[in-house]
Structure 1
Amino acid sequence: MSLTPEAIQTLVNNGNAPLFLDQLKDAETSSQVIAIPSEYKLQDLEAYQEHRNSLRGKFETNVIDEFIKYNKDHAEDGTKTFVDADTMKAETIFDVGTRDKAGHQRHRASLSLKRTAPYKALLNLSGSPMPQKEMAEWLEDYSEFLTAFSSDGKVIEMDKASAAIRDLNFEVVRGSERQVQDFSQQQSEYERVATKTKEDLVIPAAFVFTCEPYHGLESRKFEMRLSIVRNEILTLRIKRLEETQELMAFEFLEIIVQKQSDMEMNVPTYIGEF
């Protein structure tokens, strides 16, 4: 009588059953599992329990205080918070665990700061070429956030600054230059654009835009330089924007750390992703 491969495999499985069950017992898992005779596959019975074995899910909000409140309610040993400086987001992982007892990282809370409407408008404007008329209208629309300055640093009233932009005139000046020396001579032609406005107005050289960039952060001043690209085309560009964004990220981190400290929460907080 010969044994089929299926019969041999059944004998092997049955012979290993006691060892398998001993290892399962020693695993000390918090999940309830059972060995089913069909190739001894593990079946998790959590779905049939009254409660889950642990919290799972992700809480999402745009409000800093709600994020802190949720962290306070669910923080435990091994909880950590990570702040992403590029996206202005923070995430708390409650079940990271420890080096010796790592968690499953299935329970999280995330905070995404929202840009304010004025800051969005400022970013959309920065560095984008804009016709003279549209630039003047933008300055009028956001005049409450703006301060204009002349080339010598004097403040210009915003109604006069926008009027100066609206009434800009561009004159093309052509000419030639000749330079004669003892043993050589040089001649060149040039063309330049002369920009003028009404006599009682001053062309602004720079602006400062003051606003709250993200909901929950402090108000900031953004310096902008005015440039003329070509006839009737202007640009406003934010100076040192990347540096300002880094400062906002550190401010975001400090707010999270301070608020968690105020709530007597000892949660390590880092800049980075996990």
Structure 2
Amino acid sequence: MSLTKETLELIQETAIAAVGRDLPALGPVVVVPQNFNVVDLERYQEGRNRFRGTYSTHSLADFSAYVVERSAPDARGFIDQDAMSCIALFNIGTPGQPGHADDRAVLRLKASAAFAAVQAVCGQSLAQKAMSDWIEDWNQHLTATDESGATMSIAKAIAAVRTITVKASSESDHAVTETRASRSTMDAIEASSKETLPAWLDFKVIPFEGLGEQVIRLRVSVITSGSQPVLKLRWLGEEAQREAIAQEFKAVLEEKVGTDAALSLGTFDAK
């Protein structure tokens, strides 16, 4: 009786599977039949082979408490200051004894409503009503200052924004001599208000839960190039203040986590 090609291949694969063959490599490897599948039996066991999972939160306090509770040897944390986030890996291991790095906690700070509002309005061109409504909505966070540095009430600041008027004037100069004539024209546009316009708005805000209060200084500008006046707010020293907030984030984490996880700036990809 002759055997088919498929039958011979099956006999060969079965023999290899039964005996196995070690190959020279840095780690243990073995020759197995191509059509055999490796089945993980963990789901049939009473418990897992090891603890793993990802805890995610926006709360700095809850994240810190979880890291302290799950304190493990060689635990590491990586702080991404640009994203205001941190990931803690409890079973990352060491170069000599690497772990699976699949037992982790992730913190992503969420901007407070007030901080999100001030970030959204900065640099935007707003009509008088939109600007006055914004000031009214967030008045509890705001302090207004005029050009001379004197503090003014928020009610007066709102009234000043609502009553802006734009005046345009032209001035022409003419000069005539025996040999030539010249003319120059200058247009002037001025924005004014019945009330004193605020030059700065100071916005007090806790940017993220768990961090301290910040005072964001906003410069008020009136744009008169269009048919209607437009107002803009510019965050003075924005980059420096954002960096200070990020540094505070790292300092607070180090204080709360302590020695339960070694913290580093940057990101880590546990491939």
Listed one character per residue, the Cα deviations across residues 132-166 of structure 1 (whole Å, up to 9, x for unaligned) are 12212322332221122222333223222222222
CA distance in 2, matches of 1:251, 1:242: 14
For residues 38 and 142 of structure 1, what CA distance do their matches in structure 2 show?
67
Shift of 1:239: 2.0
**Structure 2 residue aligned with 1:238:** 235
Which piece of structure 1 moves more, 184-193 or 241-250? Answer: 184-193
Evaluate the alpha carbon distance shift between residue 178 and residue 108 of structure 1 in structure 2; reply closer, same or farther with a 3 A threshold: farther
The number of residue pairs the alignment matches comes to: 262
Change (3 A) 1:185 1:273: farther
Does 2:124 match 1:128? Answer: yes
Quote the offset at 1:40 in angstroms.
4.6
Please state if 1:203 is matched with 2:197.
Answer: yes
The two structures have a TM-score, normalised by structure 1, of 0.82
Match of 2:207 in 1: 213
Offset, 1:254: 1.2
Aligned counterparts of 1:36 and 1:241: Cα–Cα separation in 2? 61
SS in 1 for 2:39: strand
1:268 equivalent among 245, 259, 263: 263
RMSD over aligned Cα atoms: 3.1
**Residue ranges of structure 2 left out of the alignment (5+ in a row):** none
TM-score (norm 2): 0.83
How many angstroms apart in 2 are the aligned matches of 1:67 and 1:97?
Answer: 21
Is the 1:136–1:165 contact (alpha carbons within 8 Å) kept by the matching residues of 2? yes
Identity among equivalent positions (%) equals 28
1:248 to 245, 249, 269: 245
Contact 2:206 2:214 in 1 (8 A): yes
> Cα deviations across residues 180-200 of structure 1 (Å, max 9, x unaligned)?
99x9986432222112222xx
Question: Which of residues 63, 67, 72 is equivalent to 1:71?
Answer: 67
Residues 1:222 and 1:81: Cα distance change in structure 2 (over 3 Å): same
Query: Which moved further from structure 2: 97-106 or 123-132?
Result: 97-106
Q: Unpaired runs of 5+ in structure 1?
A: 29-34
For structure 1, which segment, 112-121 or 11-20, has the greater mean C-alpha deviation from structure 2 after superposition?
11-20
SS in 1 for 2:46: coil
Which residue is 2:46 aligned to? 50
- Residue of structure 1 aligned with 2:58, choices 44, 48, 62: 62
